[in-house]
Structure formats: structure tokens, C-alpha cells
């Protein structure tokens, strides 16, 4: 009986141990269940766990060729580099809205980056120190073309020129371009006739901008202030923006220039004057001629005679291609028979700015510009407007203007004092003589 009980107990123990091994889960499975039951974020970089060296893309290696256009067309210059003609033509088409290669010059510089198949990937074209164009190939084979923005170094220069014979010679004697002389003459043109008025010993102090790039002179900027000294009278000019345009004013805020230029052309011959009754050569009858005609070759620049805003640009009856500019105080100017209109309605224009080109459109027997002035819609004789001055500065701007005047007057007077020191400085011989006299 006892041995049966022992046998039964042994069998139960074996069964219990087997059941324990059967129902205990594997450690790995238990670990996964425990972490998966917790809210966790899978790191996004898990699927990119590669050595960093595999992520780096080797830079494209291009064959770079550059040169000067010389006396060749761009097509000839690039095809001589074994670039396929189709590539050159595609580049030229993409460039057309930005730059026309028919205007290329012998000293223009090009730089082209090519791939292994000699296909253009990047192209840089330089026409001057300040004009550079860049083209980058797109996936469709065309190019994105843009003009590069070139940063220039600006310096403000103060100089004094003393007249011995003429203004132009005085400027040249100090190593400056006659462009500066022309700018000075334009500023004081309404008060000084530089062909007859200058006298030996007159002095002009000028504060102006010079722009350069990498140490090379590029161009002149604006004259910021100027002072012309004579035996009888001194003249001053200060550049100031009245809220719309840059103009020159004297130290009291009075404008230096007249409201209107004498003519819309720099060079031209008056072929027909203002008249209330003139025989029209085309209509063959007498009618009012409400403006002045200035004859000049087709394409001659037409200048805006005063600051204003374009209100009309298009075709208008016998005027042909016409540009109308509105000015302060109800004035309007008309420029008719143009071959090209360079401004659009709504654009601001400054006095002396090129706004159109002489032509022969409309009722015209030859190339000329019909120049007309109207006040509140009524035509008036342009010759009667020569002494009309630009509107003085508003009182609200005077405080700001006076600050500018004080700053620039200091620069002008310092330049004059430095010039006086140089003129009055004794020579080496004079210094020795004075020492001997004291001894």
C-alpha cells in the first residue's frame, strides 16, 4: 500500500515540473511584450543608421574654361571649346530677355563650366566691372539667367578746384574726370554761365561720391554739396530729397533749378514755333499749333523737362505715339510723334531723364518731337516758362534739411581751409630766408 502511494506521489511531482517548464514564456518574448505595452516613439533616424561617409555626395567636378570674347561672336568662342552648337543656341535663347549677345563687345569676359559630355552647366558673362550675368542649367535643358548684384565700395571725397582758365581745365588739373565738371555746371546752370562767368581765382569746393571695386575706380556718384566762390558772390548747393525726388537747394531751402528745361532735346533745331494760326503742311489748312517742334534724327533721346508722373503713354490721333507727364500746380507736358515710348503710366520721371525717342509717327512730315505745355488743360507757350522755379521745400522738411546743410557745410569749409593751408604754406627757400632774418 505504501509503495503505491509513493509511486503516485512521484508521478504527480514529475507532472508538476513538466507543467512549469511548459507554461513559463521565453525571456526574449517577455521583454518584447513589456516594452511594446508602453507608449514609445521610434527614433526616425533608425532606418538611416549608416556610416556618415555614405550620406555625403561627392561634389560635381566640372571642366572650367574662360576667356575674352575678342573679335569673335559668342557662338564662335564657345564652339571653339568643343561645346555642341545646340548647347550654345539654347544658352543664347535663355539669355535673350536679360542680355542680347548681339550687343557683345570684344573685351567681354566669359567663364563656362562643362560636364564630361562638354555640356554647359553654368555660364558667367561679364561686360564691365559692375555688369555680370549668370546662367545655371535646369533639368529641362534650359537656363535660369539673372544679372548679378555687384556691391561697390563708396567713398565721399572733398576737393577744391581753383579756376585759372576754365572749370573743365581746373577739374582736369586735379586729376578728375570732366564728368565732375559737367555735374557742377548742371547744378549751377540756372545761376552761372560757365562759358562766360568764371574768372581766374574763383574756387569751387565739392563733396561727391566715388564708387570702386577691388581698388579700381568704377564711376562717380552724386555731388552731395558744392560751393562756388567769386569776388562778388558765393553760391551754395545741397542735395536733398523732398519726399519724391533728389533736388539741389541753397542754404535757405530754395531750389536752384527752374521747374522746366528749355527744351526736351539736348541738341535739336526748332522747326516750328507756338502759334494760334499756322498752315498745317499735311492737313493743308490753317489751325493752331499748340506747341513747339524740335527736329532731330530718329532715335534721339527725348528728356522730361520737369519732375512728374506719366499719365498717358500710347497712340493718340495726329500726335502718333504720345507721352503725357503731369507736374505740380496743374502743369502737363506732351511729347508727340515719338518712335519709342520708354515709360509707362504711373511711373515717376525726373527732370532730364530720357522718357522717349524722336520719331515720325502720326501726322508728321519728318522726324521731330512735338513739345507741348498745358496748365489745367489749356495750352501755353513753352517759352514763357523758363523762369518758373521749382516749388521750395515744405516747412515740415526744413529741420531735416538744416541738419543735412550743417553736416555738409562742415565738409565744404574743411576742404576750403585745407586748400588755404596748402596755398599759404611757405616753400623750403622761404622758410630758410625767414630763419636767417630772425637770426
The domain locations on the chain are: 63-147, 151-257+390-426, 269-385
The three cell numbers of residue 118 are 562638354
- Please tell me whether residue 170 adopts helix, strand or coil conformation: helix
| Closest alpha carbon to 315 in 285, 337, 283, 333 | 337
- Total residue count of the chain as it appears in this document: 439
326 pLDDT above the threshold of 90: yes
Measured distance CA(2)–CA(418) in Å, rounded? 135
52 pLDDT above the threshold of 80: no
pLDDT in the model for residue 207: 93
Instruction: Say yes or no: do domains 63-147 and 151-257+390-426 share a fold.
Output: yes
238 pLDDT above the threshold of 90: yes
The model's confidence at residue 285, banded by pLDDT at 50, 70 and 90, is: low
Total-model pTM: 0.59
Per the prediction, the chain carries an average pLDDT of 79
Q: What letter does residue 386 receive in the DSSP assignment?
A: T
Long-range interactions of 317-325: CB distance < 8 A, separation 24+: 317/362, 318/362, 318/363, 319/362, 319/370, 320/359, 320/360, 320/361, 320/362, 320/363, 320/364, 321/356, 321/359, 321/361, 321/362, 322/362, 323/355, 323/356, 325/349, 325/355
CATH dotted code for 269-385? 2.70.70.10
pLDDT higher for 197 or 61? 197
Domain 63-147: state its class: alpha beta
User: What is the mean predicted confidence (pLDDT) over 88-93?
Assistant: 88
Secondary structure of 340-365 in the HEC alphabet? EECCCCCCEECCCCEEEEEECCCCCC
pLDDT in the model for residue 415: 80
User: What is the mean predicted confidence (pLDDT) over 58-84?
Assistant: 82
234 pLDDT above the threshold of 80: yes
CATH fold of 151-257+390-426 reads Nuclear Transport Factor 2; Chain: A, (3.10.450)
pLDDT in the model for residue 4: 54
Amino acid at each position: 500500500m505504501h509503495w503505491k502511494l509513493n509511486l503516485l506521489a512521484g508521478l504527480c511531482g514529475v507532472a508538476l515540473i513538466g507543467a512549469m517548464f511548459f507554461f513559463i514564456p521565453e525571456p526574449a518574448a517577455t521583454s518584447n511584450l513589456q516594452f511594446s505595452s508602453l507608449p514609445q516613439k521610434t527614433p526616425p533616424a533608425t532606418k538611416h543608421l549608416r556610416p556618415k561617409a555614405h550620406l555625403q555626395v561627392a561634389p560635381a567636378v566640372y571642366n572650367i574654361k574662360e576667356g575674352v570674347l575678342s573679335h569673335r561672336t559668342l557662338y564662335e568662342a564657345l564652339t571653339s571649346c568643343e561645346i555642341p552648337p545646340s548647347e550654345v543656341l539654347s544658352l543664347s535663347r535663355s539669355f535673350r530677355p536679360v542680355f542680347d549677345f548681339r550687343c557683345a563687345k570684344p573685351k567681354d569676359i566669359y567663364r563656362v563650366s562643362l560636364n564630361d559630355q562638354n555640356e554647359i552647366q553654368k555660364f558667367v558673362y561679364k561686360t564691365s566691372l559692375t555688369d555680370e550675368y549668370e546662367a545655371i542649367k535646369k533639368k529641362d535643358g534650359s537656363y535660369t539667367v539673372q544679372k548679378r548684384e555687384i556691391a561697390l565700395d563708396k567713398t565721399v571725397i572733398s576737393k577744391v578746384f581753383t579756376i585759372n582758365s576754365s572749370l573743365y581745365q581746373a577739374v582736369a588739373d586735379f586729376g578728375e574726370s570732366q564728368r565732375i565738371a559737367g555735374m557742377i555746371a548742371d547744378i549751377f546752370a540756372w545761376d552761372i554761365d560757365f562759358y562766360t562767368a568764371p574768372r581766374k581765382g574763383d574756387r569751387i569746393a565739392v563733396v561727391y561720391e566715388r564708387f570702386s571695386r577691388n581698388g579700381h575706380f568704377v564711376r562717380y556718384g552724386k555731388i552731395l554739396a558744392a560751393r562756388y566762390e567769386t569776388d562778388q558772390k558765393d553760391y551754395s548747393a545741397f542735395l536733398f530729397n523732398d519726399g519724391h525726388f533728389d533736388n539741389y537747394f541753397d542754404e535757405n531751402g530754395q531750389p536752384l533749378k527752374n521747374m522746366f528745361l528749355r527744351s526736351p532735346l539736348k541738341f535739336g533745331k526748332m522747326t516750328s514755333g507756338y502759334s494760334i494760326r499756322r498752315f498745317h503742311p499735311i492737313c493743308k489748312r490753317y489751325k493752331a499749333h499748340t506747341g513747339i517742334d524740335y527736329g532731330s534724327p530718329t532715335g534721339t533721346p527725348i528728356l522730361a523737362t520737369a519732375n512728374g508722373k506719366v499719365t498717358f503713354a500710347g497712340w493718340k490721333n495726329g500726335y502718333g505715339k504720345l507721352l503725357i507727364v503731369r507736374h505740380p500746380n496743374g502743369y502737363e507736358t506732351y511729347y508727340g510723334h515719338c518712335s519709342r515710348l520708354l515709360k509707362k503710366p504711373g511711373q515717376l520721371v525726373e527732370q532730364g531723364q530720357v522718357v522717349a525717342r524722336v520719331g515720325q509717327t502720326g501726322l508728321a512730315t519728318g522726324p521731330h518731337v512735338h513739345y507741348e505745355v498745358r496748365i489745367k488743360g489749356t495750352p501755353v507757350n513753352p517759352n514763357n516758362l523758363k523762369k518758373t522755379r521749382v516749388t521750395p521745400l515744405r516747412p515740415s522738411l526744413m529741420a531735416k534739411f538744416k541738419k543735412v546743410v550743417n553736416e555738409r557745410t562742415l565738409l565744404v569749409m574743411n576742404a576750403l581751409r585745407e586748400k588755404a593751408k596748402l596755398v599759404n604754406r611757405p616753400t623750403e627757400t622761404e622758410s630758410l630766408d625767414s630763419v636767417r632774418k630772425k637770426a
